[in-house]
Amino acid sequence: MQTLAFPKQTTETITTQARFLGEAIDCRSIENNYECIATLPSVVKVSETGIAVLFPYGVVVLFGLSQKEENNFLKELSQYVSEPFSNPEMEAVEIQLNPEKSERVKNGVLCLKKYSVEHLQIVADVLAKTVVLAHYEIKLASVFDKIEPFTASLQKNYRLTQPGEELLHELGSTFLFQYKMVARVEIIDKPELLWEVPELDNLYSRLEDEYEIRERHMALERKLDLISRTSQTVLELMQHRTSLRAEWYIVILIIVEIVLSVYELFIQRFI
């Protein structure tokens, strides 16, 4: 049996927003300070008509909070956020209670048949994933801008202008992005909650399609792979050029040594 998120809720519409606040959230500390009404993911009661869903990888999803409640909660939450972002990614949606309509997003409004905690956890899971994807889409665009001069220099056969250390840094960044999306956020995995409430699987699938979670994840994976292969190719080329340069130095030294030896023999023979 599903639990109502707002037993005293009378309004049919609630505002919802997801925020990617930082690298991690200490959910346990928040649970100790608020009434925790569900787990996996953690759901805490902020007010009579408002809840927050917390994800350890740095996302919070707020349901039904007034502007004042939202500001106060985010201010308190900030002390439990590790490595906060200066400009957090955000996604907002209006949720409408309508038992007669199918549960889907239409014209920017998400219709739900009831405001159960489980329904809102599923919504929160998808919104959390979409803000994480948006965050890394921007990050990867920045990495592409830095990698582009390398590919241009390869095409024109010019000298590589960027130090290998910086290229290694970009390569490390792509591996870190991949780790965070796959190991921590588990973008393409269904939430564990669906094992307990399989009847919400259709809702999750519709929302996953609506926000193009799998398509965006695949696009990011392709970009990560391209950046990785480009970086490795350029680094190998730089290594090859360094090795070739060293070989030329050795050849020049051998030639110099031969010339000096011949000169010495010439001096000894004719002088």
Looking at residue 60, its pLDDT comes to: 98
Give 213-223 pLDDT, tens digit per residue. Answer: 999 988 888 87
Is 104 exposed, middle or buried (CB count within 10 Å of its CB: 0-12, 13-18, 19+)? middle
Looking at residue 128, its pLDDT comes to: 96
Neighbours of 256 (CB within 10 A): 10
Question: How many whole angstroms separate alpha carbon 253 and alpha carbon 22?
Answer: 56
Give 102-132 pLDDT, tens digit per residue. Answer: 788 887 789 998 889 999 999 999 999 999 9
Name the fold adopted by 13-116.
TATA-Binding Protein (3.30.310)
Q: Report which of residues 238 and 52 the model is more confident about.
A: 52
Residues of the chain within CATH 3.30.310.10 domain(s) are 13-116
Tell me the pTM: 0.79
For the chain, how many residues are written?
Answer: 271
Looking at residue 151, its pLDDT comes to: 63
**One-letter amino acid for residue 196 of the chain:** E
Question: Cis link prior to 149 (omega < 30° from 0)?
Answer: no
| Range among 2-16, 47-61, 245-259 with highest mean pLDDT value | 47-61
Looking at residue 199, its pLDDT comes to: 93
Looking at residue 141, its pLDDT comes to: 79
Task: Name the residue among 34, 22, 122, 1 with its Cα closest to residue 81.
Answer: 22
Question: How many whole angstroms separate alpha carbon 128 and alpha carbon 22?
Answer: 12
Give 69-101 pLDDT, tens digit per residue. Answer: 999 999 999 999 999 999 999 999 999 988 777
Q: Report which of residues 249 and 76 the model is more confident about.
A: 76
pLDDT, averaged across the chain: 81
